[in-house]
Structure 1
Amino acid sequence: MKTILHGRMVVGGCAEGEALVTSEMISGWGGVDPATGTVIELRHELHGQSFKDKVLVFPGAKGSSGWSGVFQSTRLNGSAPKAMLFNVMNSKIAVGAVVVHAPAMTDFDRDPLQLIKTGDWVRVDADKGVVEITSKD
């Protein structure tokens, strides 16, 4: 089953891959290992999981302004997500999305956290503002 989601481009481009979804905001500084793209924040629901080469679906960024530096390091280390879909826009995530150089979107017509599940195949066309979700089930 395919579902279409519409949103606003933050960073243009197209990418597709397996979704990694969390209902919790992600902390960059101290919350992510930039060498592997693994969430290392101890109490985070994604603790121990890597977003490398995944479409990361999450509410937004929390923590310090170091978020963008950590996410730029994931790009430089080859451990960045293929695309990012998030609900809450702030300065941390805006700069972080730009330095990752991956398609990023926000301001959706429906909540991606309710529509996308980890393991779903997601195609992001940020240029057109369209996300195509193919359920793994």
Structure 2
Amino acid sequence: MSKEYKCHKISGGKVKGELLFSKDGLCFYLIDPKTGEVIEKEHCLYKQSIANKILVFPYGKGSSVVQADGMYQLKMTSMNPAGMIVINADTTLAASAIILDAPMVNKMDSTFYDDLPNGTMVELDADNGLLTVL
């Protein structure tokens, strides 16, 4: 039996991908839309690609225009994350995810953060508030 974790839907959708954890907040404008790589030098994911990953991060940073445009540029080049798990979803981040049809959840079971490492293959079913380890 596969392990499941409950979560709260912010933006709907059902996707599969590898988990990629970030301890730092994320500004989507500081991600290269050609490669999906984080270009913010002080970021813990510097030079790593978020493309097609289930991105786990604490919060978004940057203005509403910067966040929405950064997400949009990534989506246009197919370098966007497959889905997002955020700890503190502000209005800008949530609205951007909804507008760009990007699955996003929050309020994960507390054990999720201790149980699973980077690279774990999961299915995120935002519509039903469920993350399943594959």
The residue number in structure 1 matching 2:40 is 41
Q: Is the 8 A contact 1:58 1:113 kept in 2?
A: no
Amino acid at match of 2:95: V
Deviates further, 32-41 or 46-55:
32-41
For residue 35 of structure 2, give the secondary structure of its aligned residue in structure 1: coil
- Residues of 1 paired with 2:96 and 2:38: CA distance? 16
Which structure dedicates a bigger proportion of its chain to strand?
1
Amino acid at match of 1:42: K
Unpaired stretches in structure 1, ≥5 consecutive residues: none
- Residues of 1 paired with 2:75 and 2:98: CA distance? 11
Residues 10-36 of structure 1 show CA distances to partners (whole Å, capped at 9, x for unaligned) of 11111111111111111223x211222
Tell me the CA shift for residue 108 of structure 1: 2.0
Amino acid at match of 2:40: E
For residue 20 of structure 1, give the secondary structure of its aligned residue in structure 2: strand
Residues 42-82 of structure 1 show CA distances to partners (whole Å, capped at 9, x for unaligned) of 01110001111111111120122211110111111111111
Q: Is the 8 A contact 1:19 1:121 kept in 2?
A: yes
- Residues of 2 paired with 1:78 and 1:6: CA distance? 28
Amino acid at match of 2:123: R
Q: Is the 8 A contact 1:28 1:70 kept in 2?
A: yes
- Residues of 1 paired with 2:114 and 2:127: CA distance? 23
Superposed CA RMSD = 1.7
For residue 23 of structure 1, give the secondary structure of its aligned residue in structure 2: coil
Tell me the CA shift for residue 111 of structure 1: 5.8
Whether 1:21 aligns to 2:21 is yes
- Residues of 1 paired with 2:126 and 2:27: CA distance? 24
Decide whether aligned partners of structure 1 residues 6 and 12 sit closer, same or farther in structure 2, where only a CA change above 3 A counts. same
The residue number in structure 2 matching 1:128 is 128
Q: Give the % identical residues.
A: 29
Amino acid at match of 1:45: C
- Residues of 1 paired with 2:72 and 2:96: CA distance? 7
